[in-house]
């Protein structure tokens, strides 16, 4: 099963995430199929960038977004 989820790329106590499409069996920071966005919660306001066209393409092909990615996609759709 393919999932759209967050992969952590920041250093210790500095979380920065990529929004990735990955096989559900791969580790959190392991191999991914495609990177479709990024999320930096430490900035004020937080940086949220998600390529909605690619995300919707993957969802149409059966990918399941995680709960965190679903929330981020709603923020991007609302223009925030």
pLDDT digits (tens, 9 = 90+) for 25-40: 988 888 899 999 999 9
Selection from 34, 31, 22, 28 nearest residue 8 by Cα: 28
pLDDT value at 72 more than 90: yes
Kindly report the CATH number assigned to the domain that includes residue 15.
3.30.1320.10
For residue 47, what are the domain limits? Answer: 2-77
Average pLDDT, the chain: 92
Q: Give 2-28 pLDDT, tens digit per residue.
A: 999 999 998 999 999 999 999 989 888
Domains contained in the chain, number: 1
* Residue 29: per-residue pLDDT: 82
- Sequential DSSP letters for 8-71: E-S-TT---EEEEEEETTS-TTS--SEEEEEEETTSSSPEEEE-HHHHHHHHHTT-EE-HHHHH
**What pLDDT, on the 0 to 100 scale, is given for residue 55?**
93
Q: What percent of the chain has pLDDT over 90?
A: 76
């Amino acid at each position: 099963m393919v999932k759209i989820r967050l992969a952590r790329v920041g250093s210790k106590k500095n979380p920065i995430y990529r929004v990735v499409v990955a096989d559900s069996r791969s580790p959190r920071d392991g191999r991914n199929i495609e990177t479709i966005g990024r999320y930096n919660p430490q900035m004020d306001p937080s940086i949220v960038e998600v390529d909605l066209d690619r995300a919707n393409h993957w969802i149409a092909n059966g990918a399941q977004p995680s709960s965190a990615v679903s929330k981020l996609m709603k923020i991007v759709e609302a223009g925030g």
